[in-house]
Amino acid sequence: MPVFSGKGITLNFRVDDVDAEHERLAEAGIRTAMPLEDHPWGDRGFSVIDPIGNFVYLYSDREPMDEFRQFYKE
């Protein structure tokens, strides 16, 4: 993953099917900056960098691991 330069912004987008979005963007030739993976805080996601340098994170919700569950409201 590239080192943050202090420029640009990060955009987060929750999608219904992050695996399908990853596949769609890969087929379009867009490279990922962070690979598609499950995260213990309760999402599965990946990121790309847009043409003007913004970090774009796409994710779908997952169940968080027990250590993070305490931070969620029921």
Q: What is the pTM of this model?
A: 0.79
10-53: CATH topology is 3.30.720
Burial class of 44 by CB neighbour count within 10 A (0 to 12, 13 to 18, 19+) = middle
- Quick one: DSSP state of residue 11? E
Q: So where are the chain's domains?
A: 10-53
- Summarised one tens digit per residue, pLDDT across range 23-37 is 999 999 998 999 999
How does pLDDT run along the chain (74 residues), one tens digit per residue? 566 666 678 899 999 999 999 999 999 999 899 999 999 988 999 999 888 888 899 999 988 877 777 777 76
